[in-house]
């Protein structure tokens, strides 16, 4: 045991992840993974490094122990993180050292290195200069398949994130009122996202009336009116690093008959996609399960995005629930199911749950009602 008590035997889990990444890199013909601060680095070591202009880089080589290269002024933070506690070798560099030459020395003889997908272009190019003739590939090809299959500890972390965002939704009717602006309601929601156990607020969408027809509308100064349907799509990241993301639909007072008709179709579409989830089916078929219901209801043209996205250390990651993705679902994969129907200029609706593919079916991590939540207009 360590003093990092959020995940039991965390050290062992991080060591196992690095071992798998080494094996997978080797099989893919990659001599070393070079990972700058971000979710791949955090996934393999537990270290939430600051993304700075100074180079921090985890070097994972096929036949050797991993090394974490850090600026010396970041060394205390690295040592205090799970990476330090696990005994990972940490090599510091001083302000006037060339960290790119240091990394190049650690991977001398390599023919191919893989860089994390979100590395800054500045670092990519400087590594290219430091390693002339060495082929650069994307580390995501190796790490994303590992991250996609969540461990029991990760599922527990996602379950906690889901419960926390459910508690926020439970209180939305207290804040959502005719006469208030989206921004005012959003401020109350953001405060609650933190209060219910998230470390950060990642996004707050309050799309009232016609604003609901723009899927990524965030907040505006529009005053909420009686009769408005309101899309509330919110998420944050817990201290353990795992994300929540959940959409529920509210209406202030009496909704229009036309809204209710399309909402009924949406509700059936979302349920059909969730029911379809089990090991062995493809991501594309989950998308189709939702899309077919919406198309049969006559709203096919108004469902303008994919059905969902994987979630974990990032809000959007593999697997994507989209037409053409033949990725087969396996136990431990976690993703959103979030079909929507958007009537431009009038209103929009979306229902979103995070679900996990289990050994024999599906577990929904968001448990609030899918029914339209009616809040009084007065």
- Look up residue 301 and give its DSSP letter: G
Cα 326 from Cα 118, distance rounded (Å): 24
Interaction residues for Zn ion, span 71-110 (CB under 5 A): none
Verify binding: residue 318, Zn ion, rule CB under 5 A. Answer: no
CB atoms within 10 A of CB 8: 12
Tokens 């469902």 sit on residue: 303
Sheet containing strand 362-364, edge to edge, reads 317-321, 308-310, 334-337, 353-357, 362-364
Verify binding: residue 196, Zn ion, rule CB under 5 A. Answer: no
Range 300-331 burial, b when 16+ CB lie within 10 A, else e = eebbeebbbbbbbbbbebbbbbbeebebebee
Residue from 233, 287, 317, 353 in contact with Zn ion (CB under 5 A): 233
In this complex, which beta carbon is closest to Zn ion, that of residue 131 or of residue 204? 204
What is the Cα 267 distance to its own chain's centre? 23
In this complex, which beta carbon is closest to Zn ion, that of residue 78 or of residue 334? 334
In this complex, which beta carbon is closest to Zn ion, that of residue 31 or of residue 353? 353
What is the Cα 349 distance to its own chain's centre? 21
Q: Contacts from 89-97 at CB under 8 Å and sequence distance 24+?
A: 89/65, 91/67, 93/55, 93/69, 95/71
In this complex, which beta carbon is closest to Zn ion, that of residue 57 or of residue 362? 362
Verify binding: residue 353, Zn ion, rule CB under 5 A. Answer: no
Verify binding: residue 245, Zn ion, rule CB under 5 A. Answer: yes
Cα 79 from Cα 45, distance rounded (Å): 11
For residue 256, the minimal CB distance to Zn ion (Å) is 24
For residue 145, the minimal CB distance to Zn ion (Å) is 21
Window contacting Zn ion (CB under 5 A); options: 131-139, 176-184, 242-250, 357-365: 242-250
Window contacting Zn ion (CB under 5 A); options: 7-15, 16-24, 246-254, 288-296: 246-254
For residue 187, the minimal CB distance to Zn ion (Å) is 19
For residue 338, the minimal CB distance to Zn ion (Å) is 5
Window contacting Zn ion (CB under 5 A); options: 25-33, 40-48, 270-278, 328-336: 328-336
Window contacting Zn ion (CB under 5 A); options: 51-59, 101-109, 295-303, 346-354: 346-354
Nearest to 14 by CA among 145, 137, 154, 141: 154
In this complex, which beta carbon is closest to Zn ion, that of residue 196 or of residue 233? 233
Window contacting Zn ion (CB under 5 A); options: 111-119, 155-163, 212-220, 244-252: 244-252
Window contacting Zn ion (CB under 5 A); options: 104-112, 124-132, 349-357, 361-369: 349-357
Q: Binders of Zn ion: how many residues, by CB under 5 A?
A: 5
Beta bridge partners of 206: 232
Across the chain, how many H-helices and E-strands are there?
A: 11, 17
For residue 136, the minimal CB distance to Zn ion (Å) is 31
In this complex, which beta carbon is closest to Zn ion, that of residue 17 or of residue 370? 370
3-state per-residue secondary structure call for 54-123: CCCEEEEECCCCCEEEEEHHHHHHHHHCHHHHCCCEEEEECCCCCHHHHHHHHCCCCCEEEECCCCCHHH
For residue 336, the minimal CB distance to Zn ion (Å) is 4
Window contacting Zn ion (CB under 5 A); options: 109-117, 169-177, 215-223, 336-344: 336-344
Verify binding: residue 336, Zn ion, rule CB under 5 A. Answer: yes
Q: Which two tokens stand for residue 288?
A: 């189709």
For residue 216, the minimal CB distance to Zn ion (Å) is 9
Phi/psi for 353 (5° steps) reads -120, 150
Binding site for Zn ion (CB under 5 A): 233, 245, 247, 336, 352
């Amino acid at each position: 045991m360590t003093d990092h008590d959020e995940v039991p035997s965390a050290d062992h889990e991080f060591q196992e992840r690095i071992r798998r990444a080494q094996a997978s890199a080797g099989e893919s013909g990659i001599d070393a993974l070079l990972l700058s601060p971000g979710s791949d680095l955090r996934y393999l070591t537990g270290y939430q490094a600051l993304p700075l202009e100074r180079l921090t880089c985890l070097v994972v080589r096929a036949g050797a122990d991993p090394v974490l290269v850090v600026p010396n002024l970041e060394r205390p933070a690295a040592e205090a993180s799970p990476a330090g506690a696990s005994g990972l070798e940490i090599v510091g560099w001083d302000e006037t050292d060339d960290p790119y030459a240091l990394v190049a020395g650690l991977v001398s003889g390599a023919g191919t290195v893989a860089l994390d997908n979100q590395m800054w272009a500045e670092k990519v190019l400087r590594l290219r200069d430091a390693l002339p003739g060495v082929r650069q590939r994307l580390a995501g090809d190796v790490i994303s398949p590992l991250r996609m299959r969540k461990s029991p500890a990760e599922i527990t972390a996602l379950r906690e994130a889901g419960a926390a965002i459910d508690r926020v939704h439970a209180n939305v009717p207290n804040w959502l009122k005719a006469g208030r602006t989206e921004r005012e309601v959003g401020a109350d929601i953001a405060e609650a996202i933190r209060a219910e156990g998230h470390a950060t607020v990642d996004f707050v969408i309050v799309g009232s009336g016609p604003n609901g027809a723009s899927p990524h509308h965030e907040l505006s100064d529009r005053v909420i009116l009686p009769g408005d349907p309101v899309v509330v799509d919110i998420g944050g990241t817990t201290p353990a690093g795992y994300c929540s993301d959940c959409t529920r639909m509210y209406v202030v007072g009496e909704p229009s008959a036309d809204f209710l008709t399309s909402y009924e179709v949406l509700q059936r579409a979302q349920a059909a996609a969730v029911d379809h989830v089990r090991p062995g089916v493809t991501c594309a078929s989950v998308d189709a399960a939702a899309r077919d219901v919406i198309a049969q209801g006559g709203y096919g043209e108004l469902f303008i995005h994919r059905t969902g996205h994987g979630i974990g250390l990032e809000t959007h990651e593999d697997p994507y629930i989209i037409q053409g993705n033949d990725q087969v679902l396996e136990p431990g994969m976690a993703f959103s199911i979030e079909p929507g129907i958007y009537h431009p200029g009038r209103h929009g609706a979306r229902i979103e749950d995070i679900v996990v593919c289990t050994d024999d079916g599906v577990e929904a991590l968001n448990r609030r009602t899918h029914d339209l939540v009616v809040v009084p207009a007065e």
